[in-house]
């Protein structure tokens, strides 16, 4: 009885094992290389490999023909007329192989860069949607080291196999037809090398994963240390941080050297295989199986094969580095693909809902004698209900257009978290749950903010925060970031309202002035004005200001009071001194405690 119980309990686990393995393999599946214009590039690479093989055979045949025409026994009896046609064929084959190798390199780089270009976009999109580890060091490592490993595998791993393998196969087939002992002699070292590769590849993958893990840890430490540079200096811990970095660096060095032992052996193995092919041909010549002209022609073929064989020796290294990177970035890239599909579905659903609402409104107007039905109660205002932050449900907020709402809490970090939660609510469609009856409800100007597509969301809310850094770009781009269709005149007008016109036009580049690293080289107060200009451009129904007054001087505070005095929408703000912003204007508090 006990035995049967254990057996039945073990069956689900055994059944779940293959399913989990299949799910893991699916999650680690990279986006297809065989897609779009990359298909033509892959086909072109195979054709280039075949062309090089054919030209190599032409070289071998012409060399054999040229040397066979020379008489070594009676030089006086030989024809001294140069065989110009055969010599021209040899020169053409040599130049053709050179051109084919050149074109192969260009096509290979185009293939690798096109693929990485697509994946880099997905990788950053995933980071912007809070997927995976968003540590600066980790993201930079993924966007540089991991994608470089992917590019190397495609450009210098897949490409040599597409070109070298057809070349070797065609050459071996030609040798098998013309001289089978030579074909066997050349094939044996290649077969032994191929037999050993799977065992060596497994070791190379393990060591590549170790190097990647140590390198990612080192990159994260560097990024975190640089970001906390001020506190490190104040604590007098510069030497300690450098010592910690040295420990991580030494681990990377040791792991890289350990990996080089196996990858170097693989490269040496392929080079040795090519050398053994040459030695085997020499032995056959010594035994009298092939003549001098045959030796020269075969050596020509082996010379053409030498470079592709050397490239194949690096394929295993690139493959294992790619597999180590794929294990981490493939699930992120697949999530980015799911996000893109979800966003498109959200946009289609939104357009369909808007079309249905328009049809229903027309029908209601006809049923009521042409008089439209009244809109929802909170039209032209803001409604926030069922919002939960840190497992705590917040009080509901109902605000009419023109109201000023102070977000109040004894915990400043809680205020920042609440405002951030409101802004990003529904930004990731994969996190939405339409079946949850208690899901948060955010209505802005009568529109469901969390269900709206990004193009609609950005028109509903304008936000300015001292905690959120500016992107890199020109003044024109930064001001119109929320409203990319804003005209130059609208941007200039907004800059004039916040008092930045003199600063912008004292620069000889004007609106093309580049700002980087959170608004450098502008002063902190000017950067705050720029954030306010961006938030207010287009007069969004909800204006969200987070402690921007702390970065403004007296003139800046006066400017902010003027701009908010007659603002038609809801102003949701946080401030340590709200009276500075609204001296003669009433505001009410939204207490989070």
What pLDDT shows up at residue 374?
38
Tokens 């300015």 belong to which residue? 464
Share of the chain above pLDDT 70, in %: 84
What pLDDT shows up at residue 12?
41
Chain region(s) in the chain for CATH 1.20.1560.10: 33-70+81-339
Query: What fold, for 33-70+81-339?
Result: ABC transporter transmembrane region fold (1.20.1560)
- Position with higher pLDDT, 203 vs 234: 203
DSSP string, 436-501: -TT--EEEETTEEGGGS-HHHHHHHEEEEETTSPPPSEEHHHHHTSS-TT--HHHHHHHHHHTT-H
Tokens 């690096």 belong to which residue? 314
What pLDDT shows up at residue 462?
92
Torsion of CA 295, 298, 303, 308, to 10 degrees: -150
Chain region(s) in the chain for CATH 3.40.50.300: 381-591
User: How many Å apart are CA 333 and CA 328, to the nearest integer?
Assistant: 9
Q: Is a pLDDT exceeding 60 seen at residue 347? A: yes
Q: Is a pLDDT exceeding 90 seen at residue 110? A: yes
What pLDDT shows up at residue 172?
85
Q: Which residues contact 414 (CB under 8 A, 6 or more apart)?
A: 389, 390, 592
What pLDDT shows up at residue 129?
74
Tokens 């030209």 belong to which residue? 55
Length of the chain: 593
Mean pLDDT (whole number) for 582-592: 83
Q: Which residues contact 146 (CB under 8 A, 6 or more apart)?
A: 212, 325, 328, 329
Q: Is a pLDDT exceeding 80 seen at residue 272? A: yes
Cβ proximity of 318 and 161 under 8 Å: no
DSSP-derived 3-state class of residue 588: strand
Q: Is a pLDDT exceeding 70 seen at residue 376? A: no
User: How many Å apart are CA 414 and CA 389, to the nearest integer?
Assistant: 8
Cβ proximity of 316 and 200 under 8 Å: yes
User: How many Å apart are CA 207 and CA 266, to the nearest integer?
Assistant: 14
Cβ proximity of 339 and 125 under 8 Å: yes
CA distances from 346 to 3, 114, 421, 425, 486 (A): 52, 28, 20, 14, 25
Q: Is a pLDDT exceeding 50 seen at residue 9? A: no
Give me the phi and psi of 589, to 5 degrees please. -100, 140
**Rg for the chain, CA atoms, rounded:** 35
- Given the candidates 3.40.50.300, 3.30.450.20, 3.40.50.1110, 3.30.465.10, the CATH classification of the domain at 381-591 is 3.40.50.300
For Cα atoms 17, 22, 23, give the angle at the middle one, nearest 5 degrees.
100
Alpha helix locations (H) across 287-376?
Answer: 292-367
- What's 373's DSSP letter? P
How confident is the prediction for the chain on average, in pLDDT?
81
Q: Is a pLDDT exceeding 50 seen at residue 131? A: yes
Please state whether the peptide bond connecting residue 457 to the residue before it is cis, i.e. omega within 30 degrees of 0. Answer: no
Cβ proximity of 184 and 199 under 8 Å: no
Digit-coded pLDDT (tens) for 416-462? 888 888 888 766 666 665 555 677 888 898 888 888 888 888 889 99
- 249 band by pLDDT with thresholds 50, 70 and 90: very high
Q: Which residues contact 283 (CB under 8 A, 6 or more apart)?
A: 185
Q: Is a pLDDT exceeding 90 seen at residue 274? A: no
Mean pLDDT (whole number) for 113-123: 88
- 337 band by pLDDT with thresholds 50, 70 and 90: confident
Q: Is a pLDDT exceeding 60 seen at residue 578? A: yes
What pLDDT shows up at residue 482?
87
What pLDDT shows up at residue 426?
66
């Amino acid at each position: 009885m006990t035995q049967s119980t254990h057996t039945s309990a073990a069956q689900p686990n055994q059944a779940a094992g293959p399913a989990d393995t299949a799910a893991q393999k699916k999650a680690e599946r990279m986006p297809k290389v065989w897609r779009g214009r990359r298909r033509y590039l892959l086909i072109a690479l195979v054709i280039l490999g075949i062309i090089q093989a054919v030209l190599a055979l032409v070289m071998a045949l012409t060399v054999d023909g040229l040397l066979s025409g020379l008489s070594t026994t009676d030089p006086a009896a030989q024809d001294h007329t140069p065989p110009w046609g055969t010599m021209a064929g040899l020169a053409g084959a040599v130049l053709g192989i050179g051109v084919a190798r050149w074109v192969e390199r260009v096509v290979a780089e185009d293939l690798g860069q096109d693929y990485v270009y697509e994946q880099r976009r997905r990788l950053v999109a995933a980071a912007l949607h809070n997927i995976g580890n968003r540590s600066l060091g980790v993201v930079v490592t993924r966007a540089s080291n991991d994608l470089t490993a992917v590019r190397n595998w495609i450009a210098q791993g897949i490409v040599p196999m597409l070109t070298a393998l057809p070349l070797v196969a065609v050459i071996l087939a030609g040798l098998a037809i013309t001289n089978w002992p030579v074909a066997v002699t050349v094939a044996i070292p290649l077969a032994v090398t191929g037999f050993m590769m799977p065992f060596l590849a497994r070791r190379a993958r393990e060591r590549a994963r170790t190097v990647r893990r140590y390198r990612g840890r080192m990159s994260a430490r560097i990024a975190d240390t640089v970001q906390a540079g001020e506190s490190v200096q104040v604590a007098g811990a510069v030497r300690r941080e450098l010592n910690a970095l040295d420990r991580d660096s030494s681990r990377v060095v040791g792991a890289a050297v350990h990996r080089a032992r196996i990858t170097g052996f693989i490269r040496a193995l392929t080079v040795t295989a090519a050398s053994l092919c040459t030695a085997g041909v020499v032995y056959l010549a010594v035994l009298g199986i092939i003549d001098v002209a045959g030796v020269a022609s075969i050596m020509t073929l082996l010379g053409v094969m030498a470079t592709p064989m050397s490239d194949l020796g690096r394929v295993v290294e690139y493959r294992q580095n790619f597999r180590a990177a794929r294990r981490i970035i493939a699930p992120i890239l697949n999530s980015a693909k799911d996000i893109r599909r979800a966003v498109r579905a959200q946009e289609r659903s939104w357009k369909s809902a808007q079309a249905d609402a328009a049809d229903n409104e027309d029908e209601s107007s006809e049923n009521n004698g042409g008089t439209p039905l009244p809109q929802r109660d909170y039209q032209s205002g803001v409604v926030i209900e069922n919002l939960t932050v840190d497992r705590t449900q917040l009080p509901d907020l109902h605000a009419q257009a023109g109201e000023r709402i102070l977000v109040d809490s004894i915990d400043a970090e809680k205020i920042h978290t609440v405002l951030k939660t409101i802004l990003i609510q529904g930004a990731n469609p994969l996190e939405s749950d339409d079946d949850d009856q208690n899901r948060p409800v955010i209505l802005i100007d009568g529109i469901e903010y969390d269900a709206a597509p990004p193009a609609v969301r950005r028109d509903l809310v304008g936000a300015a925060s001292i905690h959120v850094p500016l992107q890199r770009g020109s003044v024109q781009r930064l001001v119109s970031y929320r409203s990319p269709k804003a005209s130059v005149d609208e941007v200039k007008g907004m800059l004039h309202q916040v008092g930045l016109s003199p600063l912008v036009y004292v620069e000889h580049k004007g609106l093309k002035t580049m700002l980087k690293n959170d608004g450098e080289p502008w002063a902190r107060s000017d950067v705050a004005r720029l954030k306010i200009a961006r938030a207010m451009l287009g007069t969004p129904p909800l204006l969200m200001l987070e402690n921007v007054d702390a970065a403004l001087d007296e003139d800046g505070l006066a400017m902010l009071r003027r701009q908010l005095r007659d603002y038609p929408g809801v102003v949701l703000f946080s401030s340590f001194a709200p009276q500075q912003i609204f001296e003669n204007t009433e505001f009410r508090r939204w207490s989070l405690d």
